[in-house]
Amino acid sequence: PVQFILGAKFYKGAYSAIKAFAGNMDLLVAIGTTAAWALSVWLWLTAEAGSMVHLYFEGSAVVITLVLLGKWLETRAKRQTTSAIRALHALRPDVAHLMGADGEVDVPVLEVMVGDTLAVRAGERIPVDGVVLQGESSVDESMLTGESLPVHKNEGVTLTGGSINGDGRLLMQVKAVGSETVLANIIRLVEDAQAGKAPIQRLVDQVSAIFVPVVLGIALLTLLGWWLTGHSFELALIRAVAVLVIACPCALGLATPTAIMAGTGVAAKFGILIKDAQALELAHKVNVVAFDKTGTLTVGKPRLTAFVLADTLADALVDNIADTSTDATQLLSLAASLQSGSEHPLARAVVDAAKARNLNIPAPDNVRAVPGRGSEGEVGVESFLIGSLRWMQELKVDMGTLATHATDMQAQGATVSAMAQRTTQGNTQNIKLKALMAFGDEPKPGAKETIAELKNRGIKTVMISGDNRGAAEAMARRLGLDPTAGEVMSEVLPGDKAALISKLKEGDKNVVLMVGDGVNDAPALAAADVGMAMSNGTDVAMHAAGITLMRGDPMLVAAALDISAKTVAKIRQNLFWAFAYNVAGIPLAALGYLNPVVAGAAMALSSVSVMSNALLLKRWKPKSK
C-alpha cells in the first residue's frame, strides 16, 4: 500500500519528468524506492528455506513517508493564497438597482452595462464604477483610500465599485464594468503578486534538475563498477540501491517548508501573520520601508482636539474644556446631544469627548442628517446645526474673525467643523456661529519607536500621505522623520503610491517594504518587494499583503524583519546540511560502506536533523519595547 498507493503521485511525477526529458525529485524517489522494493521482492522469492536475508521494504516506506510529510508541510504553508483572491471578489455586490422605463428593477451586476443608470440606496455597496447623476451623500471609501472620513459625493463626482454609500440616495451612470473597474484592476495586481515562487525554492528546483541526473549516473556507474569487477549482480544492485536510497532528497525537500512552517508559526504567536513565503524570504533584505500615514503610523480615528468659542474667541484644548470654560462645557454637551445618533467619525469624536468628561448628554429632538453637510436638530427649546465650513458658507453664516482661526487650524492639518444656533424672530430666521471644532489624528503608540529602531538599523524610512504638505510634515516631525531628508511624501493621490514605490526601488538597488492598511495600498503592496498590512485597516489590505500585523502594532514591523532573517538563516542551514549529507553519503554508499538499510537510516536521520534545526525557531521572541 505504501509503495504503490501513497507513492502513486511520485510515479506520476516521474512519468511527467521522463516525457519532458527532465529530472526532478519525484523521479529520484520513484526509482530509488522501486529499486529497494523490487530487490526485496526478488531476494524474498529466491531465498532458500530457513535462510536469513536482508529485505529493504522499510527503506522504501520510510522514504515515501518522509517526502510526503515535506509535501504536506509545504502545501499547508501556501494554503492562504486562494482565500485572499476570494476576499477581494467578495467586495463586489451581486445585485444592482437598474433604472428603466418601469422604474427601479433589481438585476445581477453581471448584466449591468456601461451607460446604464443605477440607484444606490443608503448603506449599500456601490456595484460598479461610475459618476453621480443625481443626489448627494457621503461615501465610505476606506476600502480604497484607507482614510476613515467619508467623502462627499454630488453630481458629476466619480464613484468606485465596492465603496459604501452613506446616508443619501444616489443615481449613478455606469462608466466601467467587469474587468475594467478599479477593483478588478486591484484583484489582477494581487493575483500577479501572488503568482511568484519563493526565491530559495526556485534555487532548490534548479539544483534538483542537476542533482537528479548526476545521482542516476552515479548509481549506474556503481552498478556497473561492482558487477564488472567480478562481484555478483545482487551485490552490485544492492550497492546501486544504497546510492539511490541515501540520495533520495527527503532532507532537501524538508529544508525549506519545515523552516517556513516553524517561522510562520512562531510569528503568528506574536501577532505576525505571514501568508507569502516570498515575502518571508525577502523581508530580511529590506533597506527601505515606506509607511502609509493614516491608520498605519497614526490611530486613524479622528479626535476632537480644540474648541474655539465664537463669543469669546477662547481657543481651548479639548483636554482643558471641563476645567477652564463653562461655556465650552455646555456647548460640547449640546453638540454631543445633536451628534449622539450619528455614526459619522467626526460625530463619534464629539460624543466620545463629552463622555470622556462625564458630561450630561441630553436627548435631542427632530434631528435631520443633511447629506454631505452635517446635521441639524433641537435640544430642549434651542435649535442647532453642526457641519462643514462649506455648509456654513452656503447658509451665509457670518464667520467673522473665526475664519482666520479655521484657516490656521486647517493649515496645521486639522479637519474643522462648525456649530451654529438657529433662532427665529417672527418670520425671520437667523443663524449665528457658536464654535469651531478641530479634529486631529494621533500617532500610534510605538510608531515613533519603530521609526527610530529602523533608522538605527540603517533602513531608510519614508511616510506617504495624502495630506497637504504642512499637515504631513507636522505629523512627520512628531514621528521622528525629517522632511528635509526626503522622508515625507505629501499630497500623494491613491493611484500614485505604486509609482512612488517603484521610484524608491531605484531599479533593483533597493529592497522596499510597503506598510499600509487600505485597498488603495494594494497596488503599492504589489509593486513593493514585500507588502505588510495593519489588521486595524481594511480586510482587503490584509488579504493583499504577504504579511499582516494582527495587532496593528507598528513595533511588529521590526519584529517581522527579525523573524524573516532567522527563518532564512535556518533554511540556509538546512540546505547546507542536506547537501553535505549527500556529498558525504553518496561516495560511501558507492564504495560499499553503506548498505540500503544503513542508507535508509542515515537518510531518515538527516531528515530528523533538518526538522529539529527548523523547530529551534520556536524559541524566537520579538525584542521587548
Per residue in 183-231, pLDDT tens? Answer: 777 666 545 544 444 566 667 767 767 777 888 899 899 999 999 998 8
Which residue type occupies 373? R
**What is the reported pLDDT for 74?**
47
Please tell me which residue, 509 or 59, carries the higher pLDDT value. Answer: 509
Would you give the end-to-end CA distance of the chain in angstroms? 54
**What is the reported pLDDT for 318?**
54
pLDDT-based confidence at residue 326 (cuts at 50, 70, 90):
low
Nearest to 256 by CA among 323, 197, 191, 310: 197
94 flagged as catalytic? no
Do residues 587 and 272 make contact, with C-beta atoms less than 8 angstroms apart?
no
Please tell me which residue, 448 or 209, carries the higher pLDDT value. Answer: 448
93-126+129-176 and 303-440, same CATH topology: no
**What is the reported pLDDT for 80?**
42
Q: Say yes or no to pLDDT of 262 above 70.
A: yes
**What is the reported pLDDT for 78?**
46
Q: Is the pTM of this model over 0.85?
A: no
Residue 537: how many CB atoms within 10 A of its CB? 27
Residue 464: how many CB atoms within 10 A of its CB? 26
pLDDT-based confidence at residue 50 (cuts at 50, 70, 90):
low
**What is the reported pLDDT for 470?**
67
Which residue type occupies 543? H
Distance CA 253, CA 70 (A): 6
Domain boundaries, the chain: 2-82+194-264+564-619, 93-126+129-176, 303-440
pLDDT-based confidence at residue 82 (cuts at 50, 70, 90):
very low
Do residues 470 and 462 make contact, with C-beta atoms less than 8 angstroms apart?
no
**What is the reported pLDDT for 146?**
42
Catalytic residue among 26, 129, 140, 292: 292
The most confident of 48-52, 63-67, 217-221, by mean pLDDT: 217-221
Distance CA 422, CA 429 (A): 7
Q: What is the mean pLDDT of residues 90-98?
A: 86
**What is the reported pLDDT for 116?**
94
pLDDT in tens, 274-292: 777 778 888 999 999 999 8
CA atoms within 13 A on the CB side of 105: 10
Distance CA 91, CA 332 (A): 38
Do residues 477 and 462 make contact, with C-beta atoms less than 8 angstroms apart?
no
Q: What is the mean pLDDT of residues 531-539?
A: 68
Burial 491-505 (b: 16+ CB within 10 A, else e): ebebebbbebbeebb
Distance CA 204, CA 187 (A): 30
**What is the reported pLDDT for 409?**
83
Helix-helix angle 233-247:555-590, to 10 degrees: 170
Distance CA 605, CA 439 (A): 63
**What is the reported pLDDT for 386?**
94
Q: What is the mean pLDDT of residues 245-270?
A: 77
pLDDT in tens, 434-445: 999 988 888 888
**What is the reported pLDDT for 452?**
95
Please tell me which residue, 282 or 519, carries the higher pLDDT value. Answer: 282
3-class state of residue 533 by DSSP: strand
Distance CA 362, CA 337 (A): 6
The domain 93-126+129-176 is classified under which CATH number: 2.70.150.10, 3.20.20.70, 3.40.50.12280, 3.40.190.10? 2.70.150.10
Rg (CA), the chain: 33
The answer to which of 80-94, 465-479, 484-498, 571-585 has the lowest mean pLDDT is: 80-94
The most confident of 264-268, 318-322, 516-520, 534-538, by mean pLDDT: 264-268
Q: What is the mean pLDDT of residues 63-84?
A: 58
CA 222 to chain centre: 52
Q: What is the spatial order of strands in the sheet that 382-388 belongs to? A: 315-317, 303-309, 428-440, 415-425, 382-388, 374-379, 365-370
Please tell me which residue, 305 or 131, carries the higher pLDDT value. Answer: 131
**What is the reported pLDDT for 235?**
82
Nearest to 561 by CA among 461, 488, 479, 478: 461
The most confident of 33-37, 60-64, 81-85, by mean pLDDT: 33-37
Q: Which CATH architecture has domain 303-440?
A: 3-Layer(aba) Sandwich (3.40)
**What is the reported pLDDT for 89?**
72
- List, in order, residues 6 or more apart from 434 with CB less than 8 Å away: 309, 310, 311, 331, 384, 419, 420, 421
Percent of the chain predicted with pLDDT > 90: 22
Q: What is the mean pLDDT of residues 8-20?
A: 81
**What is the reported pLDDT for 202?**
67
Q: Say yes or no to pLDDT of 363 above 80.
A: yes
Please tell me which residue, 37 or 90, carries the higher pLDDT value. Answer: 37
pLDDT in tens, 464-484: 987 667 667 888 888 999 988
Please tell me which residue, 248 or 235, carries the higher pLDDT value. Answer: 235
Q: Say yes or no to pLDDT of 597 above 80.
A: no
Q: Which three cell numbers stand for residue 58?
A: 522499510
Contacts 24+ apart (CB under 8 A), 425-432: 431/385, 431/395, 431/397, 432/310, 432/397, 432/398
Fold (CATH) for 2-82+194-264+564-619: Calcium-transporting ATPase, transmembrane domain (1.20.1110)
pLDDT in tens, 138-156: 888 765 544 556 888 989 9
